Structure 1
């Protein structure tokens, strides 16, 4: 098992144990969670691993960190995301497909925003990918999708996307294959021209090859 996979496994186990702790101790919305040191001892993992897990949960809106005050369970509305996290990320193989589809929802919406916004679809970054594809013959799949999310301008969607990629991003963190080159070029050119339907069709075809 490589280090990235091992880190992901540790992270998911910490999140799972945190959820159990919240249920067993009946910590309510706004209730204070144990300190990093206590969590580290009770969960049997390093403090740095606990810290990373808490940071990710904070990005998801599940917990709130108050300077000098500790870490607290978020509001009732956000607390419901604990169930979502458990149901769609931790439980079974089907959940992995759900995470992938949810990630793609954010990517497709970002593509729609860009194709419908002239100032975004005419940015020089898209031409730079054409050059890279011609010179190098490939691009990093995750880099292209990240640029699309960043360009769309929805910071919340970007934060959620980063978390989804943490669970589902292994296949994306690679160079594109030769057969993907034309598909990616078609997607980028359609975005530049404002052809939403064609851009999304190319994107979906691309995801089938990943």
Structure 2
């Protein structure tokens, strides 16, 4: 495989190569895949890039990593819906706009779930997040990931992790002071069960980072 300087294309190519390898070598369900080192050598890429691709396939339920044993092919028939979704998402022709739209929908759904669940919006973690926003640097992606995890949408979380590969740099940057103010208000709205206000603040935050005003 010819290496590329584009991390997104490299990730897609590695996933494609991994799937071809599984097919061509007729790896059966439960069969062991080559090690990270061997895959990196065969695909001529760094081990960290291979590790990211394997992690995404594992989150989709297509492979299983056993500590001290290696990586094995899962029974994909148990994950038919996830497999169909992953095949659709991993096409190179998939537009960045559609990827972002899908990711935003998952994030809004998590906000909706928490805002409408007294058990979830009364968790002490929200106060901890607000305090962290005041006194520490925080990466945009970190707080969103925790919101999705707490919403307990496991399928959504698997898809969100996969979409993370396509999200680009904006989500990996630290929040500005203006963003932090938005998120403190957003978390407060969630804690008060004010879904519409929380979603509105989320949309305003997206406009801020899309315009590059932060």
Q: Same fold (TM over 0.5)?
A: yes
Corresponding position of 2:92:
91
Residue 188 (structure 2) pairs with residue 196 (structure 1): no
CA distance in 2, matches of 1:200, 1:63: 35
Q: Give the C-alpha shift of residue 30 in structure 1.
A: 3.3
**For residues 98-137 of structure 1, what are the structure 2 equivalents within 5 Å?**
98-134=98-134
Indicate the SS of the match to 2:174: coil
Equivalence for 2:18: 18
1:82-140 per-position Cα deviation (integer Å, ceiling 9, x unaligned): 6644543441361x22222222222112111211122321233323444455556x753
Quote the RMSD (CA, aligned, Å). 3.6
Report what 1:75 is aligned to. 76
Q: Conserved in 1, the CA contact under 8 Å of 2:27 and 2:33?
A: no
TM-score by length of 2: 0.71
Call closer, same or farther: CA 1:131–1:72 in 2, change over 3 Å. closer
**CA shift for structure 1 position 53:** 2.4
Name the residue aligned to 2:179.
Answer: 180
How many angstroms apart in 2 are the aligned matches of 1:132 and 1:79?
Answer: 40
Structure 1 match to 2:166: 167
- SS of the counterpart of 2:172? coil
Q: How does 1:26-105 map to 2 (within 5 A)?
A: 27=26, 30=29, 32=31, 35-36=34-35, 39-45=39-45, 49-64=49-64, 71-72=72-73, 74-76=75-77, 78=79, 84-92=85-93, 94=95, 96-105=96-105
**Gaps in structure 2 of 5+ consecutive residues:** 210-214
1:143 equivalent to 2:125? Answer no
| Pair 1:83–1:118, CA change in 2 (3 A) | closer
Runs ≥4 in structure 1, deviation > 6 angstroms?
none
User: What SS class does the counterpart of residue 194 from structure 1 fall into?
Assistant: coil
- Return the offset for 1:14: 1.0
C-alpha separation between the residues in 1 aligned to 2:42 and 2:17?
A: 10
Alignment correspondent of 2:212: none
Q: Give the total of aligned pairs.
A: 203
Distance 1:204 1:69, change over 3 A: closer
CA contact 2:130–2:184 (8 Å) conserved in 1: yes
For the 8 Å contact 1:115–1:193, the answer to whether it is kept is: yes
Indicate if the aligned counterparts of 2:61 and 2:74 stay in contact, CA closer than 8 A. Answer: no
TM-score, normalising length from structure 1?
Answer: 0.72
- Cα 1:38–1:77 change in 2 (3 A) is same
